[in-house]
Amino acid sequence: MTATDTVRPHQPMGSRELAAVRADFPLLGRTVRGGKPLVYLDSAATSQKPNVVLEAEVDFYEQRNAAVHRGAHHLAEEATEAFEDARAAVASFVGADVDEIVWTSGATAAINLVTYALSNATAGRGGDAAERFRLAPGDEIVVTEAEHHANLVPWQELCARTGATLRWFGVTDDGRLDVSDVDAVITDRTRVVAFGHVSNVTGAVAPVAEIVAAARRVGALTVLDACQSVPHLPVDLHELGVDLAAFSAHKMLGPTGVGALYGRRELLEAMPPVTTGGSMVEVVTMTDTTYMPPPQRFEAGTQMVAQAVGMGVAAQWLDELGMDRVAAHERELAAELLRITEIPGVRVLGPTDPTDRIAVVSFVVDGVHAHDVNQVLDDQGIAIRVGHHCAQPLHRRFGLAATARASASVYTGVEDIVAFREALAGVRAFFGEE
């Protein structure tokens, strides 16, 4: 390793390197709304995909397509190998062991899988090993007011099915989790603590170590929604010490329709299955069935093989670039995005300090509804997101129904954000607000 190698990870990408990265994403080259170059600032909703990911899916279908874990012919071997290599790539990318990664259709499915496994345990499934997953009235599940609906509604439903009570951490005025009362919220009654690593609205990074420590003190399971962290920050799930985690491929340069549930090995081993059927069983009689060990126990039916292969390639692509460098690049983008606070009438929902936040910035423009802000930007080829971003309680906390959100990814350039800021500066004048 040379001296430059040790310094490089902390530096953002140079313009030439960024140009090379962008050239890998064919969609970024298209125009929209009558010939305007696309400025894509909606990566928190879904990221664009590099050629290698698109090619990996095509290559799988053209060269390797076969049933995985079932056939004994040559193609089946290659398909199975591609599928399992992808699992290894994803596991290594997030600091997990290969058998700790369960394929799901996405993060929403992963979180629902956990809640239904707990339900099934509560209904008596899983034997003695599943004892720690059983819930009863008086038990509490802790979430936060900042959660995406995908990490809130499944827990509400689990509480409704089991009689457990939902509690939550609030959010401070600057959009960070309020953990000042951590030991009042996480108590002896707490059985699960489910929280987002990074808010998809405020961009704020949660104090994972503090929450995990509090959960461990009372023996509660921790479930991390890592959708907005895995694509943008170096994430080592073993180091974070969470019990379970969920993330989606499509937000990390991979295909739609695939994601992963991470679970500590001993937990997955003790968890009863949720979706049942083919490919997850050992011995089936007309009355009883025994199940395979994880991760296969949670992968009933034909899997999304080509997408999983694509997700593996996306993880490798990011790994090769280096997540430290991705994070350094996006730190610069976050600072550039936060400069919208210099525009009169623009208010940011979330931390305005670039520390412990990613390049996801939600905002309101005084006197102009988010949809109308979006329309003016869209007219100039700038794609942002408007609405509640699947986080209604967080918006309600700030007395808002909708915000606009600009979000970056590894392929975003400073010039994208400059174009966005310039367009945003003209919005209030267009609606006669200044």
Active site residue 390: yes
Task: Name the minimum Å distance from CB 255 to other proteins.
Answer: 24
Hey, what's the torsion of the CAs at 167, 171, 176, 179, to 10 degrees? -50
Nearer to other proteins, 319 or 372 (CB): 372
Nearer to other proteins, 75 or 401 (CB): 401
Quick one: which of 46, 132, 352, 430 contacts other proteins (CB under 8 A)? Answer: 430
Residues 77-96 interacting with other proteins (rule: CB under 8 A): none
Nearer to other proteins, 125 or 431 (CB): 431
Q: Which long-range contacts (CB under 8 A, 24 or more apart) does 162-165 make?
A: 162/118, 162/119, 162/122, 162/135, 162/136, 162/137, 163/135, 163/136, 163/137, 163/138, 163/139, 164/135, 164/136, 164/137, 164/138, 164/139, 164/140, 164/191, 165/137, 165/138, 165/139, 165/140, 165/141, 165/189
> For other proteins, which stretch binds (CB under 8 A), given 152-160, 194-202, 252-260, 424-432?
424-432
Answer yes or no: are the C-beta atoms of 25 and 50 closer than 8 Å: yes
What are residue 94's DSSP bridge partners?
A: none
Task: Name the minimum Å distance from CB 179 to other proteins.
Answer: 27
Nearer to other proteins, 34 or 137 (CB): 34
Q: Is 265 in the site for other proteins (CB under 8 A)?
A: no
Hey, what's the torsion of the CAs at 108, 111, 116, 117, to 10 degrees? 140
Nearer to other proteins, 129 or 401 (CB): 401
Quick one: which of 46, 95, 161, 431 contacts other proteins (CB under 8 A)? Answer: 431
Nearer to other proteins, 18 or 370 (CB): 370
Task: Name the minimum Å distance from CB 375 to other proteins.
Answer: 7
Query: E strands, 120-164, where?
Result: 140-144
Nearer to other proteins, 152 or 327 (CB): 152
Distance CA 333, CA 348 (A): 15
Answer yes or no: are the C-beta atoms of 189 and 212 closer than 8 Å: no
Question: What are the φ and ψ backbone dihedral angles of 189, each rounded to 5 degrees?
Answer: -85, -15
Which tokens sit at 295?
A: 């991760």
**Cβ-based neighbour number of residue 361 at 10 Å:** 33
Task: Name the minimum Å distance from CB 382 to other proteins.
Answer: 12
Please tell me the count of residues contacting other proteins according to CB under 8 A.
19
Q: Which long-range contacts (CB under 8 A, 24 or more apart) does 248-252 make?
A: 248/106, 248/107, 248/108, 249/106, 249/307, 249/310, 249/311, 249/314, 250/46, 250/47, 250/106, 251/43, 251/44, 251/46, 251/47, 251/227, 252/47, 252/311, 252/314, 252/315, 252/318
Task: Name the minimum Å distance from CB 319 to other proteins.
Answer: 36
Angle of helix 153-162 relative to helix 107-122, nearest 10 degrees, comes to: 10
Answer yes or no: are the C-beta atoms of 53 and 253 closer than 8 Å: yes
Task: Name the minimum Å distance from CB 347 to other proteins.
Answer: 17
Residues 344-403 interacting with other proteins (rule: CB under 8 A): 369-372, 375-376, 379, 386-388, 392, 395, 401-402
Task: Name the minimum Å distance from CB 213 to other proteins.
Answer: 36
Length of the chain as a residue count = 434
Nearer to other proteins, 307 or 374 (CB): 374
Residue of 54, 153, 390, 414 marked catalytic: 390
Task: Name the minimum Å distance from CB 211 to other proteins.
Answer: 28
Binding mask 16-45 for other proteins (x = CB under 8 A): -----------------xx-----------
Residues 278-317 interacting with other proteins (rule: CB under 8 A): none
Distance CA 242, CA 264 (A): 8
Q: Which amino acid is at 429?
A: A
As annotated, the active-site residues are 390
Binding interface with other proteins (CB under 8 A): 33-34, 369-372, 375-376, 379, 386-388, 392, 395, 401-402, 430-432
